[in-house]
Amino acid sequence: MPNVAELITEHVTLTVDCVDRLYLNAYVPRLQSEGGVVAFLRHRGHPIPSPVCFGQITDAFKTGLRAWAARLGIPWIEFQKGERKDDVVQRYRDRFHGTQGVICVGVAQERAKAWTATKQVQGRHLHFAYRWKTVCVNHYYLYFVDRDWGPGFLKVCGYAPYTMKCCLNGHEWAKRQLTRRRVPFTPLDNGFQACSRPAVLHTVCESLSAADVQAVFDRWVARLPLPVTVADRAAGFGYRLSLLQLEVSRTQVFDRPLRGREFFEEVLRDQLDLGRPSRMQLLFDRKITRATPGRFRTRVITDGVVPSLHVEYKRCHIKQYFKEGRALRTETTFNDTYDFGVKRGLSNFAYLRTLGQRINTRLLQAERVAQDCGLGEPRFAELVLPGRTVDGQPAPGLKFGQPRVMALLAALCLFGLTPAGITNRRLRPQVAQLLGTDAAYTPRQMGYDLRRLARKGLIQRIDGKLCYTLTPHGRRVALFLTKLYARVLRPGFQALDHRIASQAPPPLRTALAAVDVATDRLLQEARLVA
C-alpha cells in the first residue's frame, strides 16, 4: 500500500474546499427587549401592550399561511413526534420539478425562547411586565427550492419574537453556479465527484460570500407570508442574520477508492490522541489551559462498516469519513463562533470559512506527517552518533532510547504544525511533563537540546525571531523514533529481559529466538519501515 504522500499526489483526482451546511438564525433586533415589544404592539395599533395581542397575531399568521398554501396547492404536513422530517419531505422533493418554489409546509411543536407577560395593576394603571420563558409552541417549516441555492428551508416560530431559522447548502449553490456557467461536472451526494474545469470550481466555491447568503434570505422573506409583515419591516422591525452552524469541508476524490479507504482506516489508528489539549491547540490554533472550559476528545464511530473520525474542541467539531466509497471528506463545524473570539454576525462568514479551511488542512497535515515518517539507516546513524556541522560546530548525538531524548522527540511531535514556532519557554514544560518532573529539566538543558536539534537539522531558526520551526526532516525523525519506541521497543523490553532468557527453559529460549522475525513483522504492521 502506498503512503499518504503518494496517495495525495498520485491518486487524488479532485480536491474541493467548499462551505457545506449553513444554518442561520434570523431575529428582529427590536423585539429582543421589553421596550421593543411595547413599541411593536403600539405600531400594530394596540395602545395597551397585552400578551393577548401576540396571540391574535399568531392566530392570524397561522390562518393566513394555511390559506396561502391551499391557494397555491402546497402540501400541508403535520409532523409526528419522533418522525425524521427529511425523510418525509424527500417524497415531496422528488415530485417537484420546477426551478424555484415552495415544496411543502410542515408543522411541529418544538421548544423555543418566547415572550410571556404578567399583569400588574398599580392604582388605576394597568401594566404588563414582559420576560423571557422557554415554551413549547408551533414551528412552521417552509421547504423550498431556490434558483441559486437549490433545496433549503425556513423555520418560523409561531410566537413572539417570531425568530426564524434558515438552512442552506454551499455545495448545492456551487452546483448551480457551474450549471449557469455551462461547466460539466459529475455530482457526488452533497459534493462533486468530478469536474471538467477544477480551477473554475475552486473559484466558484471561494466566491461564495455573506452577500449571497443575505440575498437568498431576503428573496424568500419578501415572498412568504410571515408574522412580521412587510409593513412591520418597513417600520424598523426587520430581520438580522446570525450564524448558528457553519460547516466547512474538504473533499478529496480518489481514482482508486479502495486504496483511499484502506489509507483512511490506517490513519484512524494513529489519530486517536488528537483529543488531548496539547494536540487540540495545534489543530485549532487556540491556547488550552486547565481553566479552558469545554470538551476535548477524539472518537472513532462506526456506522455499520463505515468508520468516521470525530475530534471535538469545545462546541467545534471535526468529522472525517470516506464518502460513498470514493472520497475522503474532512469537515469542520462551527456551532458557537465565540469559541474562536468572534461574534455570530453574518459579517464573520468569510473569516470562519478561512479558519475552517486552515483547521481541515492542519488535520490532514498531521495525518500526512504521521504516515510518512520512514527513516533510512544512514540518516539514523547521522542522528544518533556525534558529528559536526558543515561549518565545523560539534553536533552531539541524540541517543535513541534515552529518556530525555525520547521525551524531547515526543514533545516535538506536538509542535509539528504550530504556526507560533518553538521556543525554550514553550517546549521545556512539555519535555519536563513527559520526563515526570519539572525540576529535573532546566532551561539551560533545554537550550543545549535546542542547539543540538538545530545542528542535526531537525529544527531551524526563524529569521528575525528567537524561535525555531520544525523542518520536514525533523517531523519524520520525531514521529518515526517516537512511534518505534512506543510501539516496538518499550513493550518489547518487557518480554526480552536477557537475564530471563539465559535462565529460561528450552521452550522459552526457542520462543525468544523468533523475536527477530516477530519484530520485522511488527514493524511492517506498524508502518515503520524505511
Residue 290 in 3-state DSSP? coil
Domain extent at residue 14: 1-22+168-207+239-369
Confidence of residue 185 (pLDDT cuts 50, 70, 90): very high
The residue among 50, 51, 154, 155 whose CA lies nearest residue 111 is 155
Assigned domain for 196 exists: yes
Q: Which of 172-186, 366-380, 448-462 has the lowest average pLDDT?
A: 366-380
Percent of the chain at pLDDT > 70 equals 74
Pair 5, 147 in one domain: no
Which is more confidently placed, 391 or 188? 188
Q: Quick one: pLDDT at residue 5?
A: 52
Q: Average pLDDT over the chain, rounded to whole?
A: 80
β-partners of residue 328 are 252, 322
Number of domains in the chain: 3
Assigned domain for 317 exists: yes
Task: Give Cα 184 distance to the centre of its chain.
Answer: 29
Tell whether the model's pLDDT for residue 253 goes beyond 70. Answer: yes
Tell whether the model's pLDDT for residue 3 goes beyond 80. Answer: no
pLDDT tens sequence across 138-167? 999 999 999 999 999 999 999 999 999 999
Confidence of residue 415 (pLDDT cuts 50, 70, 90): low
Residue 191 in 3-state DSSP? strand
Q: Which of 292-301, 336-345, 480-489 has the lowest average pLDDT?
A: 292-301
Q: Quick one: pLDDT at residue 379?
A: 66
Domain limit, last residue, from 369, 402, 420: 369
Confidence of residue 389 (pLDDT cuts 50, 70, 90): confident
Q: Quick one: pLDDT at residue 419?
A: 52
Angle at 276 between CA 275 and CA 282, to 5 degrees: 90
Tell whether the model's pLDDT for residue 294 goes beyond 70. Answer: no
Tell whether the model's pLDDT for residue 85 goes beyond 60. Answer: yes
Q: Quick one: pLDDT at residue 463?
A: 80
Domain limit, last residue, from 352, 369, 386: 369
Q: Quick one: pLDDT at residue 155?
A: 97
> Which set of grid coordinates corresponds to residue 201?
470550481
Assigned domain for 89 exists: yes
> Which set of grid coordinates corresponds to residue 352?
470562519
Pair 381, 472 in one domain: yes
Tell whether the model's pLDDT for residue 265 goes beyond 80. Answer: no
Pair 255, 388 in one domain: no
**Order of strands, edge to edge, in the sheet holding 76-78?**
76-78, 101-122, 125-146, 150-157, 164-169, 12-27, 240-254, 327-334, 316-323, 306-313, 296-303
pLDDT tens sequence across 4-27? 555 555 678 899 999 999 999 999
Pair 71, 198 in one domain: no
Rounded Cα gap, residues 269 and 514, in angstroms: 27
Handedness of CA 217, 223, 224, 229 (dihedral sign): positive
Assigned domain for 47 exists: yes
Pair 354, 316 in one domain: yes
Pair 33, 181 in one domain: no
Instruction: Please count the residues of the chain.
Output: 530
Tell whether the model's pLDDT for residue 378 goes beyond 60. Answer: yes
Phi and psi at 108, nearest 5°, equal -150, 145
Q: Which of 291-295, 315-319, 382-386 has the highest mean pLDDT?
A: 315-319
Pair 49, 122 in one domain: yes
Task: Give the Å distances, CA to CA, from 125 to 47, 53, 117.
Answer: 13, 18, 16
Which is more confidently placed, 134 or 462? 134
Pair 100, 142 in one domain: yes
Rounded Cα gap, residues 360 and 97, in angstroms: 36
Pair 487, 340 in one domain: no
Pair 229, 249 in one domain: no
Tell whether the model's pLDDT for residue 220 goes beyond 80. Answer: yes
As a whole number, mean pLDDT of residues 121-131 equals: 78
Residue 435, domain CATH: 1.10.10
Assigned domain for 530 exists: no
Tell whether the model's pLDDT for residue 346 goes beyond 80. Answer: yes
Q: Quick one: pLDDT at residue 275?
A: 44
Which is more confidently placed, 377 or 243? 243
Q: Which of 81-90, 424-433, 460-469, 506-515 has the lowest average pLDDT?
A: 506-515
Buried b (16+ CB within 10 A) or exposed e, 284-298: bbbebeeeeeeebeb
Is residue 161 reached through a cis peptide bond, with omega within 30 degrees of 0 on the bond before it? yes
End-to-end Cα separation, the chain, in angstroms: 14
The residue among 159, 149, 168, 128 whose CA lies nearest residue 25 is 168
pLDDT tens sequence across 225-242? 999 999 999 999 999 999
pLDDT tens sequence across 517-529? 554 555 454 444 4
Q: Quick one: pLDDT at residue 230?
A: 93
Pair 262, 213 in one domain: no
Locate cell 438564525: which residue?
25
Domain limit, last residue, from 305, 339, 369: 369
Pair 99, 150 in one domain: yes
Q: Which of 216-220, 359-363, 487-491 has the lowest average pLDDT?
A: 487-491
Q: Which of 104-118, 202-216, 269-283, 455-469 has the lowest average pLDDT?
A: 269-283
Q: Quick one: pLDDT at residue 262?
A: 61
β-partners of residue 23 are 167, 245
Tell whether the model's pLDDT for residue 317 goes beyond 60. Answer: yes
